[in-house]
Amino acid sequence: MAADSIALAVTEAFARLPKRYKPGLRSNGVHEWIPLAGIVLEKEGLPLYCISACTGSKCQAQDRIQISNGNIIHDSHAEVLAIRAFNYWLIHQCADLARSLENSSLYLKRRENSHVTKFSPQPFTIRADVKIHLYCSESPCGDASLELSLERQEDSTPWGEGPERGPENLLGHSHFGEVGVVRRKPGRSDSPNCLSKSCTDKLAMHQCTSLINAAAAPLIHPENAYLHTVVLPTSSKLDSCTRAFSQQGRMSPIAESSKLNWPLSFAFKPFRIVLTTLDFEFSRADPKVKYTACNRTAIYSPLFQEAIINGMVQGYKAGNIRFFASLDDSATVVSRV
């Protein structure tokens, strides 16, 4: 499938959201920008189906998570939210199949009884002829965008190295001389400390564990739940992406170990990286324009739409237990998945 078609499916889905979900022009004339990511399903004979279109560039500081007792979304980067919303949709597909006597879903099906075992108990699986694509309007944060991020800064020199190199110090662009390593968010040196891994590292992990998260894992077998394609803008550095994701780069040891037959149909299944010429409306495409990051996160799904600010659905305070207690089948929030 052409990269532009996948990108268009996501950007058009986002365009259908109300204006309040989108970045705007501030009173001082500065344009807000935001990364967009979305999951698109491809099945022969059917139009592309956008399952999620999410924006976001924020993650919660470690001390804030402790205060809220974990009742907030820790990582609101667009790629992470797009995968969470995809899992939410999968769970609803399973519920529909459970209520039906037939395999009525175009994208999921019941597994054969002979395939359901004690060590492989999931009753459902994604159909084998379904391809899963991910579109990102920006290169994922972390190792895959390290050089690109530095080029975009007014001062392209790396941050000061600070303390001796260690896992706790690999934030954003620190220790820039070390590539191909796991990094943590945030990307800014002046941001509060956070424990979330970069989107590069999370996507690299999904090449081994599939897109199925803990909430959907008891229901859906992972065999067909791997990304087929990741679509990135032409500004992306392909050498950096090859280093970050491929078996020719830092995933080489994993690729070798996966040949030893991992359990439960898990395997190293690298995705293809393709480039799109389409620009997202709210990206930083014009070098002459002054931009600032938008603090609003938007989530589109065929099942629901919502805005998230500081890890909570807009209108609620972080850790508001009354909000979670009031949720029912008609009140949806991607933080539940």
Q: What is the pLDDT of residues 33-60, one digit of tens each?
A: 999 999 999 999 999 999 999 999 888 7
Asked if the model's pLDDT at residue 125 lies above 90, the reply is yes
Least confident of 9-13, 71-75, 95-99: 71-75
- Mean pLDDT for 211-220 is 95
**pLDDT band with cut points at 50, 70 and 90 for residue 186:** low
Question: Which is more confidently placed, 34 or 74?
Answer: 34
- Mean pLDDT for 177-186 is 79
Asked if the model's pLDDT at residue 104 lies above 90, the reply is no
Asked if the model's pLDDT at residue 187 lies above 90, the reply is no
Buried b (16+ CB within 10 A) or exposed e, 187-201: beeeeeebebbbbbb
- Residue keyed to tokens 């260690």: 166
d(CA 337, CA 320): 17
Query: In this structure, what DSSP letter does residue 326 have?
Result: T
d(CA 160, CA 278): 35
Indicate the average pLDDT of the chain: 84
C-alpha closest to that of 203 among 179, 232, 175: 232
- Residue keyed to tokens 């924006």: 55
Buried b (16+ CB within 10 A) or exposed e, 93-118: bbeebeeeeeeebebbbbbeeeeeee
pLDDT at 71: 72
Helix (H) or strand (E) holding 93: helix 78-99
Asked if the model's pLDDT at residue 332 lies above 50, the reply is no
SS3 294: coil
- Radius of gyration over every alpha carbon of the chain, rounded to an integer in angstroms: 20
- Mean pLDDT for 70-91 is 90
Asked if the model's pLDDT at residue 182 lies above 70, the reply is yes
202, two tokens: 């999370």
Beta strands in 98-238 (DSSP E): 108-110, 124-126, 130-136, 220-221, 227-233
- Mean pLDDT for 322-333 is 42
Other C-beta atoms lying within 10 Å of the C-beta of residue 50 = 25
pLDDT at 258: 72
Least confident of 42-46, 162-166, 172-176, 315-319: 162-166
DSSP string, 108-134: EEEPPGGG-BTTB--SEEE-TTEEEEE
- 144, 207 contact by CB (below 8 A): no
- Mean pLDDT for 56-74 is 76
Asked if the model's pLDDT at residue 226 lies above 50, the reply is yes
Given the DSSP bridges, would you call strands 124-126 and 220-221 parallel, antiparallel or unpaired? parallel
Least confident of 54-63, 178-187, 199-208: 178-187
Asked if the model's pLDDT at residue 327 lies above 50, the reply is no
pLDDT at 72: 77
**pLDDT band with cut points at 50, 70 and 90 for residue 329:** very low
**Structural domain boundaries in the chain:** 1-151+171-313
256 catalytic, yes or no? no
pLDDT at 74: 82
Share of the chain above pLDDT 70, in %: 80
Q: What is the pLDDT of residues 274-302, one digit of tens each?
A: 999 999 999 987 778 888 888 888 999 99
| pTM, rounded to two decimals | 0.88
Asked if the model's pLDDT at residue 325 lies above 50, the reply is no
Catalytic residue among 12, 32, 44, 79: 79
Asked if the model's pLDDT at residue 94 lies above 60, the reply is yes
pLDDT at 136: 98
pLDDT at 81: 94
